[in-house]
Structure 1
């Protein structure tokens, strides 16, 4: 039975996000069930859609929570570190993906309908992670090419992501690559060297 009077709307939103993210991290996007989330918190599925508006909005909110956790994880890994910060960021990328495998892959498995854009707040969360990498790349580039940092960050994120994804799905093992983190670091170092960075 529902407990419609137990929580304010904001409390209910947080309750849904906590249980939803727990489930997403446990079972992954393909097996995620909003109905199961509702059951676990003692509310109806209609309550979830009343709070979030739609299944897509719920998934965006859950993925947004993953992005918040990821950003905090990344910044914590970099805090107080003075040397080889990009290497630390690459390691953090792999470690977060491995440690939060289902939640991390849900960021890429979930798709909005064609023509529908994510909210501004969601795009800001994505941008916040990218901005950390832009900051770290700019710090190792010579001053006269620092304006290249945003474009370089996008390309290098794509490269590191590909290495990470191949490591997680077993492709690198099949190809005989036994150090995907080291390979990702080498590709980043090669790209930075072309711009005089290091």
Structure 2
């Protein structure tokens, strides 16, 4: 069993978040307890609450890691694309890939139970904004005269469809027996949206 003096507060926070993320990826957030996290880091459960307010607070910090990973994937996916529409489609595919490969983490990131968590890190909302800004930048290129309000609303409208497709695929509720149905749906969704957006 580790001693608290073995690590600084910042090191403990990082250790707890990394260990929780590993547990979430393996078991799903609903099956992760404070006792399991404490055991994984080699400290007592009480120590967790000297660093975080509660389990939801820990999960919110885990979500920061997930959003950062998702941002990097979406950002990288735009490289070598041919124009804004192609870039948005590439981001959509990256989003689907993240959801498929990190399903438990994806589920936690959008869990309704965490929506009103009392200890949401301030940088969490900033990361969400930055992720949307990737889409907004492409929409701005397609329609230079769009206002900031239009860009924000447009990005969220479009990404609601992408997110919904990812979520439905994970829950096996697309109701179509096609291996790449989610990718085909996102392709149609983006093309249709861009066509309307550019009018």
TM-score (norm 2): 0.88
Q: Deviations over 1:40-99 (max 9, x none)?
A: 111011111111122221111011111111111211222343441111011101011111
Give how far 1:161 is off.
0.7
5+ residue gaps, structure 1:
none
| C-alpha RMSD of matched pairs (Å) | 2.1
8 A Cα contact 1:29 1:109, kept in partner: no
Query: In structure 2, which of residues 150, 168, 174 is the aligned counterpart of residue 166 of structure 1?
Result: 168
Query: 1:192–1:30: structure 2 CA closer, same or farther, 3 Å change rule?
Result: same
Report the counterpart of residue 193 of structure 1 in structure 2: 195
Alignment of 1:98-113 (within 5 A): 98-112=100-114
Tell me, what secondary structure is at the counterpart of 1:30? helix
Q: Aligned pair in 2 of structure 1 residues 152, 117: CA closer, same or farther (>3 Å)?
A: farther
The yes-or-no answer on 1:138 pairing with 2:140 is: yes
What is the CA–CA distance in structure 2 between the aligned matches of 1:6 and 1:82, rounded to whole Å?
A: 51
Contact 2:87 2:138 in 1 (8 A): yes
| Cα deviation digits, residues 82-117 of structure 1 (max 9, x gap) | 441111011101011111111011111252475847
> Which residue matches 1:50?
50
Go from structure 1 to structure 2 and tell me whether the alpha carbon gap of 1:117 and 1:7 turns closer, same or farther (over 3 Å shift): closer
Q: Is the 8 A contact 2:57 2:119 kept in 1?
A: no
Aligned to 1:92: 94
Following the alignment from structure 2 to structure 1, what is the Cα–Cα distance between the partners of residues 197 and 155?
13
Compared CA separation, residues 183 and 146, structure 1 to 2 (3 A):
farther
